């Protein structure tokens, strides 16, 4: 698509913001508008993670936004597994991990996009691509519950796989020095936390357990404040007296969810193309969601630049992005199952648990007894990677 094009991006998340930046860098005459239903500066979530590989890709694609992201990020190079009353083990990571506030990340990308001439219309909800009758391309980056995708669900073929466990996304003023996994045994079963810093003042805490443990602890009852009080007591050792911070639903209850893994049979239909969470989701335990959304943006912009025909470009985008997605999807699937089958692993010796946790994305691990896998891991001399999908 060598000539200037008119593009409507629905949703102001990382994928659409970054896509608009890359398109404008290739050709400033592209006419690009982003439509976001929420007000400027309003976003869900706390912090997001990324790794050295993405960091390097960002610098190559757009050094200006990469520098701003780098300056607003915090770094760690180790992870800690804390098994209450049994062991706390620190493991050096093979590559650096980074955290950044989701609000700050979106702010950086929005500012960069607007500086390049992208228009952003805040508080503008789009429900029909016909609103852009003259657009050459409509990019649906409106999240896992994409309205545009559902309008053509028969064509896109979305499928959801709902996870067994239940989780809540929280913040805290405790700033973790490393990426933390904390496991607590209760009379109703195990509950655990993934914690990582995303600024010099805050960290993200994702807390997960089985529905049985959730109900047994009374987390299904009362208001969010009651749930936070229970969780602060359970995770007092790692919080060091710091509070947990939630975002209550309209009725004041805590925002507990089952994770939904989304796949789509195809990612484009006519002039509508899916990116980011509208196209796919991967379990949060591998920390890849933001990286994959930005990768979609990069691949789509490249395909549109290289191919003269729109349909050919969208086919090339879908083919390459799906190929890049296979490894993290597999890793996420096995990682989620590891936590769904936690009792299989958690009662082993602390060192075995740590090793099995580090290799939880392994295809082999679920097929053999944990003790045998541990011995195999030691003999093979492999070092378990925390988020090393594809290795």
Domains and CATH numbers, the chain: 163-257 (3.30.9.20)
Q: Is the pLDDT of residue 289 over 50?
A: yes
Mean pLDDT of 53-72: 92
pLDDT (0 to 100) of residue 387:
40
pLDDT (0 to 100) of residue 92:
83
Q: How far, in Å, CA of 236 to CA of 244, rounded? A: 10
pLDDT band at 383 (very low <50, low <70, confident <90, very high): very low
pLDDT band at 45 (very low <50, low <70, confident <90, very high): confident
Q: Residue 291: count other Cβ atoms within 10 Å of its Cβ.
A: 23
pLDDT band at 381 (very low <50, low <70, confident <90, very high): low
Mean pLDDT of 278-289: 96
What value does the mean pLDDT of the chain take?
93
For the ranges 90-94, 150-154, 283-287, 354-358, which has the lowest average pLDDT? 90-94
- Which residue stretches of 207-342 are H helix? 211-216, 224-234, 236-239, 289-306, 310-340
For the ranges 128-137, 153-162, 181-190, 225-234, which has the lowest average pLDDT? 128-137
pLDDT band at 386 (very low <50, low <70, confident <90, very high): very low
CA atoms within 13 A on the CB side of 136: 17
Q: How far, in Å, CA of 12 to CA of 281, rounded? A: 17
For the ranges 144-148, 292-296, 337-341, 351-355, which has the lowest average pLDDT? 351-355
pTM (two decimals): 0.94
For the ranges 9-13, 63-67, 82-86, 332-336, which has the lowest average pLDDT? 82-86
């Amino acid at each position: 698509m060598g000539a200037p094009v008119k593009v409507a991006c629905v949703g102001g998340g990382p994928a659409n913001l970054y896509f608009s930046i890359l398109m404008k860098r290739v050709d400033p005459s592209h006419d690009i508008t982003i439509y976001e239903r929420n007000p400027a500066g309003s976003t869900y979530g706390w912090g997001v993670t990324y790794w050295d590989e993405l960091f390097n890709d960002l610098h190559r694609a757009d050094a200006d936004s990469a520098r701003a992201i780098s300056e607003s990020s915090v770094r760690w190079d180790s992870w800690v597994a804390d098994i209450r009353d049994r062991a706390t083990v620190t493991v050096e990571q093979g590559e650096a991990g980074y955290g950044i506030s989701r609000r700050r990340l979106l702010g950086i990308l929005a500012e960069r996009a607007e500086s390049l001439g992208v228009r952003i219309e805040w508080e503008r909800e789009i429900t029909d691509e016909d609103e852009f009758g003259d657009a050459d391309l409509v990019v649906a980056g409106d999240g896992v519950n994409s309205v545009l995708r559902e309008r053509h669900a028969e064509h896109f073929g979305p499928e959801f796989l709902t996870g067994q466990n239940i989780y809540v996304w929280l913040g805290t003023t405790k700033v973790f020095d490393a990426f933390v996994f904390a496991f607590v045994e209760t009379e109703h079963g195990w509950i655990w936390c993934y914690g990582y810093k995303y600024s010099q003042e805050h960290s993200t805490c994702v807390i997960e357990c089985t529905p049985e443990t959730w109900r047994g602890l009374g987390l299904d009852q009362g208001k969010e404040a009651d749930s936070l009080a229970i969780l602060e007591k359970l995770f007092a050792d790692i919080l060091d007296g710091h509070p947990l911070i939630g975002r209550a639903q309209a009725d004041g209850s805590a925002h507990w969810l089952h994770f939904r893994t989304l796949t789509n049979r195809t990612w484009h239909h006519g002039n509508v193309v899916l990116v980011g969470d509208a196209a796919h989701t991967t379990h949060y335990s591998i920390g890849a969601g933001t990286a994959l959304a930005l990768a979609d943006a990069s691949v789509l912009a490249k395909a549109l630049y290289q191919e003269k025909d729109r349909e050919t470009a969208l086919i090339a985008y879908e083919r390459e992005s799906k190929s890049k997605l296979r490894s993290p999807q597999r890793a996420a699937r096995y990682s989620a199952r590891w936590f769904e089958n936690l009792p299989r692993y958690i009662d082993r010796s602390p060192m075995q648990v740590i090793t099995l946790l580090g290799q939880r994305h392994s295809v082999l691990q679920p097929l053999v007894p944990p003790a045998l896998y541990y011995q195999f891991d030691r003999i093979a001399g492999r070092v378990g990677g925390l988020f090393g999908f594809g290795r």
